[in-house]
Amino acid sequence: MITFLRRFIICIVAVAVALPTLAGGDAAKSKSPDALRRQLAPYTKPPADLANDFGSYKSPLIFDDGRKVKTADDWQKRRQEIRKTWHDALGPWPALIEKPKIEYLEKERRENVTQWRVRVEIAPGRTSDDAYLLVPDGDGPFPAVVVVFYESKTGIGRGKNPMLDFAWQLAKRGFVTLSYGSDPNTYYPDKANCQIQPLSFHGYVAADLCNLLASLPQVDARRIGVLGHSYGGKWALFASCLYDRFACAAWSDPGIVFDEKRGNVNYWEPWYLGHDPANPRTRGIPKEGNPRTGPYKKLIESGHDLHELHVLMAPRPFLVSGGSEDLPERWKALNHSIAVNKLLGVDNRVAMTNRPGHTPTAESNEVMYGFFELMLKHGGAK
């Protein structure tokens, strides 16, 4: 506990030093790339006692047949092997929609932003109007971010938690944002005939939303990120890792690895990765009488974990905005992504901030917004 508190205090001090120049949209827009890199730098290296600690996670730099990954070409082959393993386990995605349809329903002016409530095509035969498109004033094309959560109003600052208004804050900073909401209990094509685990299907939906943004004239298709908190963080993780068109991503306290000690890191639930109509389970941590089910059970038993998805981001950058579910010990998993990036000859592509609670703070959000500014507006890490 003392060690965690010491690290947390160091993080708060580092953010506090940067915060006076970051507070407010205008200040954030005025920061130089070098200033943004300095802001992010303290969070791109693990604490000294966790550096080079890979935990008990299997190295992604070993092929399934035991061969070691030694070159960048080897990595591309291994990367495809990992992707196939996870898609085979969770169910293959339908063909992506190249240019999803969008219908503009209601328009509103908010400060320097034009906001539309929109109806969007999210999958073959499916549309949703739980979505808002926000476009900043000025000449585009702009960088863009998909923001995902239970419902779309939170992302635009009209939900219950003011710290989750990610789409609104980024739009004020010069990003086109698409705030999208969906119940986690969503099955494709339906619950009885589910072909894809729900969380992977949500990743597919986010990929289609990325394609939608890329088709808009206001958006630079090369500069699109994805962001979510909690359930939305899980969603953003799966979307960004499994769809290369996302240039970067931020995952806010989703639980970035399987962890059956923490009830909120609940990938085992049927609305995430544990859907198995033949073996229904009740809500809660797996135990005798309420065991693991579905692909989650098979992944755990075969020694897989989410660090294998993280590494699919390389060399694309990602930020973990960690809270109660993603404490500094998660660097043991993130070190595997650092190792892959090192093999590819790049650095500073993996970052994590830490706060004691699950809900984001103004300080953690400012680092996250700075991350998107750096990666999508200013050419990224160096």
Q: Residue 196's beta-bridge partner residues?
A: 188
Contacting residues for 380 by C-beta, under 8 A, at least 6 apart: 248, 317, 374
Query: Does 217 reside within a domain?
Result: yes
DSSP state letter for 287: B
Strands 126-136 and 176-181 turn out to be antiparallel
Query: Does 216 reside within a domain?
Result: yes
Residue 66, SS3 per DSSP: coil
Question: 36, 379 in Cβ contact below 8 A?
Answer: no
Domain of residue 263, CATH code:
3.40.50.1820
Residue 296 has pLDDT above 60, yes or no: yes
pTM as predicted: 0.92
Mean pLDDT of the chain: 93
The model's pLDDT over 133-186, given as tens digits with 9 standing for 90+, comes to: 999 999 999 999 999 999 999 999 999 999 999 999 999 999 999 999 999 999
Helix (H) or strand (E) holding 322: strand 318-322
Query: Does 49 reside within a domain?
Result: yes
pLDDT at residue 30, rounded to an integer: 64
The model's pLDDT over 236-245, given as tens digits with 9 standing for 90+, comes to: 999 999 999 9
Residue 7 has pLDDT above 70, yes or no: no
Contacting residues for 164 by C-beta, under 8 A, at least 6 apart: 149, 154, 155, 229, 359, 360
For tokens 């970051």, what's the residue? 22
The arithmetic mean of pLDDT across residues 198-226, rounded, is 98
Is the pLDDT higher at 22 or at 154? 154
Query: Does 99 reside within a domain?
Result: yes
Residue 352's nearest CA partner among 376, 332, 380, 374 is 332
The count of domains in the chain is 1
Query: Does 55 reside within a domain?
Result: yes
Residue 254 structural domain: 2-377
Query: Does 186 reside within a domain?
Result: yes
Rounded to an integer, what distance in angstroms lies between the CA atom of residue 193 and that of residue 2? 50
Residue 10 has pLDDT above 50, yes or no: no
Query: Does 202 reside within a domain?
Result: yes
Query: Does 382 reside within a domain?
Result: no
The model's pLDDT over 248-269, given as tens digits with 9 standing for 90+, comes to: 999 999 999 999 999 999 999 9
Question: 154, 164 in Cβ contact below 8 A?
Answer: yes
Buried b (16+ CB within 10 A) or exposed e, 298-334: ebbeeebbbbbbbbbbbbbbbbbbbbebbbbbbbbbb
Q: How confident is the model at residue 18 (pLDDT cuts 50, 70, 90)?
A: very low
Helix, strand, coil fractions of the chain, as percent rounded to 5: 40, 20, 40
